[in-house]
Structure 1
Amino acid sequence: MLDLQRTLNQVKSDADWVSLRHVTEKTTHRRVRDEKIDGNSVYFDQGVMVEVLVNGHFGFAGTSDLTESGIKRALGKAVAMAKSGSSQKVHNFTTAQRPQAKGIYSSPVIRPIDSMSAKEITDIFVDATKAMKVSDKIISRSAGTMIVETSFHVVNSSGSEVQQNFSIVSTDFSATSGGPGETQTRSDNGGLARCFQVGAEVFNRIDILARSKRIAEESLELLSADNCPDEAMDLLLAPDQMTLQVHESIGHPLEYDRILGDERNYAGWSFVKPEDFGNLQYGSKLMNVTFDPTIADAMASYAFDDSGLKATKEFLIKDGVLVRGLGGLESQARLNLPGVANFRSSSWNRAPIDRMANINLEPGTTKFQDMIASIERGVFMMANKSWSIDDYRNKFQFGCEYAKLIENGKITKTLKNPNYRGTTVKFWNGLKAVSENRETYGSPFCGKGEPNQVIRVGHTTPYCLFSNVEVFGA
């Protein structure tokens, strides 16, 4: 077993500061399609990232060779990288960007993952796909999970020691129906996953079978539904769709490395400018958005980011006004703006960058039925199906799986192929009601950075009502 503190004490370097981050990760996939096993695999990965500070510049080198000599070689590469880059550095960093941190974090697991066998999980998924066969028109049924068990252990020369253990479970269920000239798919999550930091308690047979039957019935319902109308009207979005709306039009544009231009070659820039913080009316006064990695079971909860900054809840947008961005200590120093503890890496072989974590729209005071009753003509959309947003995270277009037409304060019929489009600030300033209840979703596949790193994010969102939105059918 690797003794990280002993290894740190043994390696010698002329660096001003040294850190070792040991990451182990086990990823399990279970999938069933049409009552047959479609996938059953386990992957294991581990390694160490060596990080150094030399001449005001950080250098990194990862290694899967966990011997003392392997880590020493990586240390030498990290020092060489830091020295080489220091002549072109964009900022003179210090250990202030790597505060001392000590602590332990573990996901709130009720029932350990290994308390359920592969067969037990697969049997539930077989029954789930069987429950979806509500008609011969159901032509494809699937159920699956990805289970990720990760450990991050960090020590450094300023006395930090942090151990963080994550148990993350994502589940997805979908049913596709077919009719003359078309197919319609309804999922349990709209392409995003039901992702939580939990244990095997998430595999509740009764709950899974009920959800599976419901989505199959709704898939069948879509075959005979009318197409979504093309007009500007009120738009009510469910929490599963609000998850992607928040992710794309709030989370990404507020990342400081985008605003600085670091991501322009790959993930893109942002329409947000440094002078907008404290001034820009991002949305209506009902809009309150927080960064909060302290929520117990949310996908991207943790105690410290990878710089050692303690994770705390912070308002990004308060009463519609932009007040804070998503930037770790390095970006905060470069922009001279307050940020959050979101300097995160995806694994041992990636350097940390500014990332989303749990970005949440805070609940309002309106009951869902009162939102429906207030709408003279509008559409209620659920579950993301497609999305497109420009490099500046300004103009966007989203498609959903399932919708309901609302007329004179009542839901009247199901609609298929619902879509809507808008521009970020105008759209959010049209927010006119926020529900008092909210739900949690997430994604295990948020990509960014060069070289690319895919990270896990979470969003807790309510039902939201927007005015005068352009909606259209396929």
Structure 2
Amino acid sequence: MDLQRTLQSVKNHADWISLRHVTEKTTLRSYRDEKPDRNQISYDDGVMVEVLVNGHFGYAGTSDISDAGIRKAADRAVLMARSAVDKKAFNFTLEQRPQSQGRYKSPVIKPLDSFSAKEISDIFVDANKAMKVSDKIVSRQATAMIVETHFYSISSSGSEMEQNFSIVSTDFSATAAEGSEFQTRTENGGLARCFQVGAEIFDRVSILERSRRVAEEAVELLTSENCPNETMDLLLAPDQMTLQVHESIGHPLEYDRILGDERNYAGWSFVKPQDFGTLQYGSKLMNVTFDPTVQDAMASYAFDDSGNKATKEFLIREGKLERGLGGLESQARLKLPGVANTRSSSWNRAPIDRMANINLEPGTSRLEDMIASVERGVFMMANKSWSIDDYRNKFQFGCEYAKLIENGQLTKTLKNPNYRGITVPFWNSLKAVSQARETYGSPFCGKGEPNQVIRVGHTTPYCLFANIEVFGA
């Protein structure tokens, strides 16, 4: 395949045209109770053709990456654009597709092929063994997903972008049972340790320590008390803060939701265009950034799929809403500043407004001081369940593991901890943010019709909230 040659043969089909070639290899390795559960490799390869005709974008993807196949897709994209031009939502120009050139590559210390399948399997078998801390452990699992992706995009206006991603996510879980009581503890509540990284992530000592802790806490939960039903201070660990940021900040700030594009499928948002620059989203301790430049985070990149250069931008500064998550198309429609987040999940999807790395910036508090400041509260970690309404406003989250805080001390372990709130009052109750923070991510953020499952990242600190409604099972 010579994409440059193909572009020359189709570039006069439309006012503007781009070809985006995506190849992806996904490897899944999973061991359950010391036996292979999933060992598979999948490949994906195709080209997305994007055209601009009379101010309207059209798309057609193809897995036939021959010259003839791509030309056929180009004809189809032009036909799609022309057939819908009378119903276009906005008259787009090349300002929404800037000329960009550049390269990006994930930071990798050890290449992924430096670790054999057998070496990974041996570590995961040992992790399964490490989780057998008690006869009450009835199920153990260790999983890794390894994704290697290559994006290459060129356009008739002279853009040329190449981005190579090496992504690894791991998770370890154990289920304990006694009588009719079951408790499962995962490493991070299903929000995997996801990084742009190489084989250096498969560190045996670290994996065995983390696996053993997961199993010990699963057994501990069997005999723990339920979380009390009270209104009290709530301290959330970074792994739970990841989901809190994702659901109650990331999604409601997406411009296509605010515009109503996503209302039918994934819901819209309580945020209004006039809220930007005026809404006190949270307390003055709340600082949130969009930052695809973080070195090893899950959703770092140099350019989004429109060719917009990725830069760090404040979304919320000292609690005030400044900027939303919208690419160049949505920015033009709303006449509001946005970010470089026009992203697609693969070659067979058109790019839409998506989260990337949405981070809660660190504060000035030490975790031990935050705990010491609480007279009565709950410290929750690792997400177990979540529910949030179509406006991304009212929510209810459950966690796997918690500790009661009494008179500034962590005391008894609590099981089945939950909390609920409403987005803006909840964030305005934020009263302490830690200096320390951790990075997590999810490979499975779904949105769009047809659905797109995309990778997102979040770096979050420990956060203390005042007067939150918590409850048990």
Deviation for aligned residue 1:14: 3.2
Structure 2 match to 1:370:
369
Deviation for aligned residue 1:11: 2.3
CA–CA separation in structure 2 for the residues paired with 1:303 and 1:297: 13
Deviations 1:107-150 (A, max 9, x none): 00110111111111011000001000000000000001000000
Alignment of 1:38-187 (within 5 A): 38-187=37-186
Contact 2:11–2:17 under 8 Å retained in 1? no
CA–CA separation in structure 2 for the residues paired with 1:163 and 1:31: 31
Deviation for aligned residue 1:181: 1.1
CA–CA separation in structure 1 for the residues paired with 2:225 and 2:65: 60
Q: What secondary structure, in the 3-state scheme, does the structure 2 residue paired with 1:11 have?
A: helix
CA–CA separation in structure 1 for the residues paired with 2:315 and 2:239: 21
Deviation for aligned residue 1:224: 0.6
Task: Give TM-score, length-normalised by structure 2.
Answer: 1.00
Structure 2 match to 1:260:
259
| Counterpart residue identity of residue 265, structure 1 | N
CA–CA separation in structure 1 for the residues paired with 2:264 and 2:296: 34
Work out whether 1:13 is the aligned partner of 2:27: no
| Counterpart residue identity of residue 287, structure 2 | N
CA–CA separation in structure 2 for the residues paired with 1:102 and 1:12: 18
CA–CA separation in structure 2 for the residues paired with 1:424 and 1:380: 19
CA–CA separation in structure 2 for the residues paired with 1:44 and 1:191: 24
For these two proteins, the number of residue pairs brought into alignment is 473
CA–CA separation in structure 2 for the residues paired with 1:198 and 1:31: 19
CA–CA separation in structure 2 for the residues paired with 1:453 and 1:357: 14
Contact 2:27–2:41 under 8 Å retained in 1? yes
Deviation for aligned residue 1:425: 0.2
CA–CA separation in structure 1 for the residues paired with 2:194 and 2:2: 32
Structure 1 match to 2:294:
295
| Counterpart residue identity of residue 55, structure 1 | N
Structure 2 match to 1:412:
411
CA–CA separation in structure 1 for the residues paired with 2:193 and 2:396: 23
CA–CA separation in structure 2 for the residues paired with 1:72 and 1:366: 58
Contact 2:6–2:71 under 8 Å retained in 1? no
Deviations 1:77-113 (A, max 9, x none): 0000000111000100001000011000000011011
CA–CA separation in structure 1 for the residues paired with 2:446 and 2:261: 15
Deviations 1:323-375 (A, max 9, x none): 00000000000000000000000000000000000000000000000000000
Deviation for aligned residue 1:163: 0.2
Deviation for aligned residue 1:12: 4.7
Deviation for aligned residue 1:188: 0.6
CA–CA separation in structure 2 for the residues paired with 1:421 and 1:101: 44
Structure 2 match to 1:313:
312
CA–CA separation in structure 1 for the residues paired with 2:11 and 2:320: 49
Q: Which runs of 5+ in 1 are unaligned?
A: none
CA–CA separation in structure 2 for the residues paired with 1:39 and 1:224: 32
| Counterpart residue identity of residue 217, structure 2 | E
CA–CA separation in structure 2 for the residues paired with 1:199 and 1:9: 37
CA–CA separation in structure 2 for the residues paired with 1:364 and 1:473: 30
| Counterpart residue identity of residue 324, structure 1 | R
CA–CA separation in structure 1 for the residues paired with 2:297 and 2:365: 24
Q: Percent identity?
A: 78
| Counterpart residue identity of residue 238, structure 2 | P
Q: What secondary structure, in the 3-state scheme, does the structure 2 residue paired with 1:370 have?
A: helix
| Counterpart residue identity of residue 212, structure 1 | S
CA–CA separation in structure 2 for the residues paired with 1:370 and 1:417: 26
CA–CA separation in structure 1 for the residues paired with 2:105 and 2:150: 9
Contact 2:13–2:74 under 8 Å retained in 1? no
Q: What secondary structure, in the 3-state scheme, does the structure 2 residue paired with 1:215 have?
A: helix
Alignment of 1:233-248 (within 5 A): 233-248=232-247
Deviation for aligned residue 1:156: 0.1
| Counterpart residue identity of residue 243, structure 2 | L
Task: Give TM-score, length-normalised by structure 1.
Answer: 0.99
Q: What secondary structure, in the 3-state scheme, does the structure 1 residue paired with 2:298 have?
A: coil
CA–CA separation in structure 2 for the residues paired with 1:142 and 1:228: 27
Runs ≥4 in structure 1, deviation > 3 angstroms? Answer: none
